[in-house]
Amino acid sequence: MTVPTPAALDGVDVAALHGLLAGHREDLVADLVAYAEQETPSDDVALLAAGLAHLESWLGERIGAPRSRALHRSDEYGDVLELEYDGTGDQLLTFLAHYDTVWSAGTLAEWPVRIDGDRIGGPGVFDMKAGLVQAVWAVRALREAGLPHPPLRLLLNGDEEIGSPFSRPLIEKAAVDAAAVLVFEASADGALKTSRKGVGLFDVHVRGVEAHAGLDPTAGASAIDEIARIVRTLHAATDLAEGTTVNVGVLHGGTRRNVMAAAATAGVDVRVARLSAQDRIDELLGSLRPHDPRAEVTVQGGWNRPVMERSPGVAAMYALAHRAGEQLGVDLRETSVGGASDGNFVAAMGRPVLDGLGAVGDGAHARHEHVSIAGMVERAAVAAGVISAFAHR
């Protein structure tokens, strides 16, 4: 299986698809508003279940019943819904879209979804609820235009914002036989994401020796002193030119001002752009030793997301999307970002991935989160072109 060349789009009128979608502008808006008004925080299983039920009903209305359905249940995380739809040819496409958000239950009461001209604002609209609406309408547009699409597999997961601990093996299984994977995460200032950093999440624990800080300081070994030295060592490993950042974002330690601390912990976030950098950080973490031999240092955690490198398959997917954009008079850019997505898992498997195909807007994880309605129509048309190319080989 190979990615079609941009020439595969010569028989697809992306501009006409854009016009068709523009005629459904209000439907796209209504669908996003209804979806965004379903609160789906990663840590609320009941709300996630209700949100997923809403999505499955809506999908049936917009693109009909799937050929097959599998619901993978979890007691701890959001369930994963996997739907397959018939299509033309044997080039299966897998769509990835997470339905969980970082916004806690009750956020809508103080920050409701609002429409202001071309802008829709509200929790989760940019990351990444608009992306799924665009994906579904891309398929709907192809069908209304009488154009074929390949067999499709849609995987909806509810734990992406917390690292996809439950859904990762399901994502990888859903991608292994796919010709390509489309990830409908939000764009980066309009650009598609052709490389993403790998993410490591680690906890460095220090066990010291308690003692009275004033009466008998030499009897103790301060875990806080040790963790402070380790923080400086870790931060010194940041190499911006290499694309590596190491950040201790959380520190815990000690019990009282006058007690030499018996324990301390540092929560560490690591981002790397290359596998070689990942190896360097692994070596550094493995080499951490206490300054005072009476103390002990242990490291827990690991690499939450592998590096997503710009492989030939990723480049080919970008070229296809860029050609679809050209038919609309849009020069689609590509970029590398520090954030990770479920696309990292798939890229590490060697599958062609197109990430950042979702919303045009801004404010992921922030109170100014919003999307452009015109951008939704435009990117749905681009997605429709890319999808159709796999059935026009």
pLDDT 10s digits, 103-126: 999 999 999 999 999 999 999 999
Q: Residue 37's pLDDT is what?
A: 98
How far is Cα 131 from Cα 261, in angstroms, rounded to an integer? 48
The pLDDT of residue 185 is above 70? yes
Domains of the chain: 6-196+308-389 (3.40.630.10), 198-305 (3.30.70.360)
What is the rounded CA–CA span in Å between residue 233 and residue 141? 54
Least confident range from 16-20, 59-63, 107-111, 306-310: namely 306-310
Mean pLDDT, range 158-172, rounded to an integer? 97
Which two tokens mark 147?
């154009």
Q: How far are the Cα atoms of 136, 184, 187, 390, 391 from residue 9, in angstroms, in the given order?
A: 20, 20, 22, 9, 10
What letter would DSSP give residue 122?
S
| Cβ neighbours for 357, distance < 8 A, ≥ 6 positions apart | 131, 134, 135, 182, 183, 184, 185, 187, 192, 321, 379, 382, 383, 386
* Helix or strand (DSSP H, E) at 303: strand 296-305
Chain segment 374-389, per-residue pLDDT in tens: 999 999 999 999 999 9
pLDDT score for 80: 98
Which of helix, strand or coil describes residue 184?
Answer: coil
pLDDT at 393: 57
Q: Average of pLDDT values for 47-64?
A: 98
pTM, two decimal places: 0.90
What does pLDDT average to over the chain? Answer: 97
Does 392 score more than 80 pLDDT? no
pLDDT at 219 over 80: yes
Instruction: Compute, in degrees rounded to 10, the torsion defined by CA atoms 334, 335, 341, 347.
Output: 70
In angstroms, rounded to a whole number, what is the distance separating the alpha carbons of residues 233 and 246? 10
How much is the average pLDDT of 182-208? 97
Tokens standing for residue 335: 């970029």
- Name the β-bridge partners of 275: none
The model's confidence at residue 150, banded by pLDDT at 50, 70 and 90, is very high
The whole-number average pLDDT for the span 121-143 is 98
Q: What's the rounded mean pLDDT across residues 38-57?
A: 98
Model pLDDT, residue 2? 85
Q: What is the mean pLDDT of residues 129-152?
A: 98
